[in-house]
Amino acid sequence: MYLYNIKYKNIKEYYNKISPVFFRISSYVFIAILFYYFMETYSPLGIKWRPFHYERVFNSIGNILENPVLSFIGYTSFDNIQDVSKNLETKLGDIYLVPSLAYLFYAFLYKFIPNFQLYEFGSFLDFILISILGFLVAELGLYVMEIGLKFESIFYGSIVFSLFITSPWSYRMILAPWHEVTFLTFYLLSIFLFINNKKYLGLFFVFLSGLMHWIWIFFLLIFLIFIKLINTFLQNLLDKDYSYRYLPNTLQNKEGFYLYSIACFLPILWQIFQTLLLKIMSIEHSGSSVLSRIGIDSYSNIHHGGIIAAFQFLGGNRYNLCFNNSNLNNLSNLNKYISYFNCSMSITSLVFLSILSILGLVILLKNSSKAKWMFAPLSWSLLFFCLLFQQSFAVHLQGHSLIFAYIFAVNIVYFFKNIAKSLAIPKIFEILIMIPITTGILINSIRVSFITGING
Give residue 101's domain range: 2-450
Residue 285 lies in a domain: yes
Residue 394 lies in a domain: yes
Using CA atoms, how far apart are residues 306 and 104, in angstroms rounded to an integer?
37
Please report, in tens digits, the pLDDT of each residue of the chain (456 residues total).
554 555 555 555 545 556 788 999 999 999 999 999 999 999 999 999 999 999 999 999 999 989 888 888 889 999 899 988 888 888 777 888 888 988 988 888 888 887 788 888 888 899 999 999 999 999 999 999 999 888 999 999 999 999 999 999 999 999 999 999 999 999 999 999 999 999 999 999 999 999 999 999 999 999 999 999 998 888 777 777 888 999 999 999 999 999 999 999 999 999 999 989 888 888 888 777 788 888 888 887 787 888 988 899 999 998 888 887 766 777 788 888 888 899 999 999 999 999 999 999 999 999 998 999 999 999 999 999 999 988 888 887 778 899 999 999 999 999 999 999 999 999 999 999 999 999 999 999 999 999 987 666
Residue 230: which H helix or E strand, with range? helix 214-233
**Residue 299, exposed/middle/buried by CB under 10 A (0-12, 13-18, 19+)?**
exposed
Residue 206 DSSP label: H
Residue 45 lies in a domain: yes
The answer to whether the predicted template modeling score (pTM) of the entire model surpasses 0.75 is yes
- Residue 424's contacts (CB-CB under 8 Å, 6 or more residues apart) are none
**Residue 152, exposed/middle/buried by CB under 10 A (0-12, 13-18, 19+)?**
middle
- Residue 21's contacts (CB-CB under 8 Å, 6 or more residues apart) are none
The number of angstroms, rounded, from the C-alpha of 282 to the middle of its chain's C-alpha atoms is 34
- Residue 358's contacts (CB-CB under 8 Å, 6 or more residues apart) are 407, 411
Residue 73 lies in a domain: yes
According to the model, what pLDDT value does residue 109 have? 86
Residue 455 lies in a domain: no
Using CA atoms, how far apart are residues 377 and 156, in angstroms rounded to an integer?
24
Residue 168 lies in a domain: yes
Residue 30 lies in a domain: yes
Residue 76: which H helix or E strand, with range? strand 75-77
Residue 211 lies in a domain: yes
Would you say 371 and 144 are in contact if contact means Cβ atoms under 8 Å apart? yes
When divided into structural domains, the chain yields a total of 1
According to the model, what pLDDT value does residue 6 have? 53
